[in-house]
Chains A and B, each alone.
Chain A
Amino acid sequence: MEIVIHIVTVLVVLFVVLNIAAGLIWVERRLLALWQDRYGPNRVGPLGLMQVAADTIKLFFKEDWVPPFADKGVFILAPAIVMLTVLMSFTVLPFAPGMQITDLNIGLLFVLAMSSLGVYSVVLGGWSSDNKYSLLGGLRAAAQMLGYEVFMGLALMGVVLMAGSFSLRAIVDAQSKMWFIVPQFVGFVLFLIAGAAEMRRLPFDIPEAESELVAGFHSEYSGMKFGMFFVGEYVGVVLISALISILFLGGWHGPLLPPIVWFLIKMFAFIAFFILLRAGLPRPRFDQLMSWGWKIMLPLALANLLVTGAIVLAVK
């Protein structure tokens, strides 16, 4: 019986996450349009809501094409990796009390591990396409990942110190009095930036950079394989937004409304914020991102960790 409940939970989470991600495509296009003085998709269905369905159908019915010069196996594997690693991360997220697939005691590390594996999709996709633009995109992805992954993990260690655990549920519980965004504001900002880089969205869409590399690592992809990259990116947005809510904004904590509603409100606020970032900012060069990551963000993260550690020690 317990196993059945587990499986149902898994399926429900999978269903909801994928639907939110698909819906996000519509939300993003409409929001961007709003901020850019234009209409956005408004023809298919009421308010253009069916646009996503139409796009999905289109992607499904496109020819499943692998370029003859590509490294076929790796080419097919790459888009699967992105979906897999992002979806795996959702297994440890606590959405509300009782609403969690599993509470791993190294939950946070698990998420970081999955995100560090996720970069393979881009790197391998770029390499296997045997296209120079894709290759440059893959190289940039690897370089970018080296730039931000380090301080991303370190930025979260302050939270771990304060909660005394890697378990995401324990971290949420530790915020019942005060959200970690207050004592860990530096960590919050660092993680917000690293999260944007993790999702490879503007301003950090350097591996993709359509004005420079055409479509970067996925130049050669089409059909549903492209769709996997595409949806994977949006699932990534959901994941990072959910993580920020859990780690810094007290997860489901909040007055009056039911916990899951609070969680969703916080999550969608960050989703909207990331879309706004995309509407507002230009893209740095990747060497700038790297030097920025190593020269500013990393020392900041270390200092934050040091200060947090000292204070935690003193209080205890």
Chain B
Amino acid sequence: MAWLFYVAGAVAIIATLMMLTRLNAVHALLYLIVSLLAVAIVFFVIGAPFVAALEVIIYAGAIMVLFIFVVMMLNLGRRAIQIESAWLKPGMWVGPVILAAILIAEVAFLVAGPGGPKIGAEVVGPQEVGIQLFGPYLIGVELASFLLLGALVGAYHVGVAKVKEEHGNHSDESRAVAGGDFVRAGTDRPAGSP
């Protein structure tokens, strides 16, 4: 199964290179996602399926969606595409498709094939990961949670400042009072009353 590891590794490297050379932000992000998926396969092959799944869920699935979300909000489409089309017109989309196809084939082979993932070390399941995290590496987990809490508070602070600023722009305060969120709206008066 070692060849799976190398193929996935190669895909990850190529996809990352492609990501770095793209001029269109969304295309670059697509390559980054392919790269992350390839890394997930690498994890899977070397016997860490739990980490592989988390890699896909958290990095490819959540964080990159945020990235794309932000890029979509930025109005750089037309100019960036003009530059990009001047550079790389033909076969632009073939790359990620082929790379992803290889990955899919690998996943299919891994999943459908007999035996299961093996390369050198034994498989580390979710239970072992959990026991390790909350045993010897507890201090690491705690530190990480501190960091995340700090980030959370910071993000909240930034977000609140922004919201306040926006509210100054609009005279309509009624919605914030009565219908701003799903929970409070509708509970401030009896059901069915006109």
Contacts and interface: CB of A to CB of B under 8 A. Distances in A.
Interface of A: 2-3, 6-7, 10, 71-74, 76-77, 84, 88, 91-92, 101-102, 104-106, 109-110, 112-113, 116-117, 119-120, 123-124, 126-128, 130, 135, 138-139, 142-143, 145-146, 149-150, 153, 164, 166, 284, 287-289, 291-292, 295-296
Contacts of B52: 106
5 contacts: A106-B50, A109-B126, A123-B72, A146-B62, A295-B183
Contacts of A292: 181-183
Contacts of B94: 73
Contacts of A127: 26, 68, 72
Report which residue of B56, B65, B81, B181 has the largest number of chain A beta carbons within 10 angstroms of its beta carbon. Answer: B65
A113 B73 contact: no
A116 to B, nearest CB: 3
A139 B73 contact: yes
A123 B60 CA distance: 13
Nearest to A108: B53
A246 to B, nearest CB: 17
Contacts of B97: 73, 77
B66 A146 contact: yes
B154 interface: no
A221 B69 CA distance: 21
A112 B53 CA distance: 8
Nearest to B126: A166
A113 B65 contact: no
Contact of B92 (A6, A7, A73): A73
Q: Which of A106, A145, A150, A164 has the largest count of B CB atoms less than 10 A from its CB?
A: A106
B111 A74 contact: no
A215 to B, nearest CB: 18
Interface in B25-78: 26-27, 30, 33, 49-50, 52-54, 56-57, 60-62, 65-66, 68-69, 72-73, 77
